[in-house]
Amino acid sequence: MPAKTVVQILMVPAQALGQPFLQKCYNAHMLQRAGFMRLEIKEKIQPRIESARTVLGDVIPLTTPYVVFIDPSSACNFKCTFCPTGDRELIKSTGRYQGNLHLDQYMKVLSDIGEFDKRLKVLRLYKDGEPLLNRHLPDMIRMAREADVADVIDTTTNGYLLGGEMGETLVKAGLSRINISIDGLDEAQFWKFTKAKVDFPKFLANLKDFYSVSGDCEVVIKTTKEIIGEDRKDEFLNTFGDYCDRIFVENTSPCWPDFDVEERMGITIETGLYGNEILDVKTCPYLFYSISVNSDLSVSACFVDWSRGLKVGSLKEASLKDIWLGAEMQSHRLAHLQGKRDAHSICGKCSQITHCKADNIDADAGKLLDLYRQVPEDQLSAKVLKAYEREH
């Protein structure tokens, strides 16, 4: 019986149904066990990617990025099998800083963002780690809101530390949207995929309490079918659907270069993140509208740069605007427009743009290439361009 039919039944006068039947219908747990889903939950089933998007080919080159990622913490309280940050030894081998962004450093980032010609569309307080590990996250949100640097301020979290007063503090600080990744439907699943001991009833209660005070902050909850299992999809939607504005079961994506998520999870990936078709994309669109500031003030060309192989500068040495318009970024963009992405040791192994329904600018590559060929040679990076000439 479809969910809509169940809702219609529940609207029938009590006299027509009888007390025993009503007791069963009004018991949410029984509805879930029977596989029913309420209409109001079905209406929330939407992917976290925004459907209304600017056609990048019409606006590139951008003097101001649309999105700036700032990583409040490169560390994490989980050890997820599907994420590079979860492998402590792997991260240690890269020499990557594991820790929090200091508040005075964050103030430097905000000051730099203020130098751009326009406001950002999105300030994303998330990249490699768990943002809530940084106790100053609410202050960071408040400061960004007061500085009026972006239309939207959002973050992504595993939700484990969202209990107590933290949630309401984030909302009052001015958070626009929060993406909560759910890594299990019970303690056993959480342990299997995160190696964290999670009190599931308490975890769920914390999310319920947070949603009750979320106000204008949009709450987006998501998981992957590889974590919860295909047979528990409705259980996930019914369990969390009342505590969010959007909810979705995604597919695991091999987005991290040099990190074989299929091998680590023992799965085979045959479709895109949102159930979309996997495409052969030549040009990375993210280089043209986003840039990432790591928790040590180094700057990466791309938000999937977990190993720091795509560093394009440091805010300890230059401004974010100078880096955005600088030689390294311009050279990455030029090489991609020239069709050389596959030759790069990191970009060539990235599946973020093929699996994750990214903006596709391949059709505009020729037009855009004419623009970027006008960049003087002395304003390009020979080192970056050479990285696209190597054979791998």
CA atoms within 13 Å, Cβ hemisphere of 5 = 4
Does residue 2 have a pLDDT over 60?
no
What token pair was written down for 126?
């998330």
Q: Distance from first CA to last CA of the chain, Å, rounded? A: 55
- pLDDT higher for 196 or 358? 196
Give 293's pLDDT tier (boundaries 50, 70, 90): very high
Query: Is the pLDDT at 339 greater than 90, yes or no?
Result: yes
- Confidence (pLDDT) at 22: 41
The overall average pLDDT reported for the chain is 90
- The confidence score (pLDDT) of residue 6 equals 36
Per-residue model confidence as pLDDT tens digits over 153-198: 999 999 999 999 999 999 999 999 999 999 999 999 999 999 999 9
Residues 381-390 have pLDDT tens digits of: 999 999 999 6
Model confidence over 186-230: pLDDT tens digits?
999 999 999 999 999 999 999 999 999 999 999 999 999 999 999
Check residue 37 and give its pLDDT: 67
Q: b vs e for 170-206, b when ≥16 Cβ sit within 10 Å of the residue's Cβ?
A: bbebbbbbbbbbbbbbeeebbeebbebebeeeebbeb
Residue 303 and residue 329: Cα distance in Å, rounded?
14
Which band of pLDDT confidence, cut at 50, 70 and 90, is reported for residue 19?
A: low
Distance CA 247, CA 274 (A): 12
Query: Does the structure show a pLDDT above 50 at 143?
Result: yes
Residue 214 phi/psi, 5-degree rounding, is -70, -20
Half-sphere exposure of 228 (CA within 13 A, CB side): 24
Residues 240-262: what's their mean pLDDT? 95
78: tokens are 């989980």
Cβ-based neighbour number of residue 324 at 10 Å: 23
Amino acid at 289: Y
Judged against a pLDDT cut of 50, whether residue 338 lies above it is answered with: yes
- Average pLDDT score over residue span 300-310: 97
Reading the block at residue 180, the tokens are 């909560």
**What is the strand order of the sheet 67-70 is part of?**
246-250, 218-224, 177-181, 150-157, 120-124, 67-70, 290-293, 298-300, 311-314
**Quick check: 8 pLDDT over 70?**
no
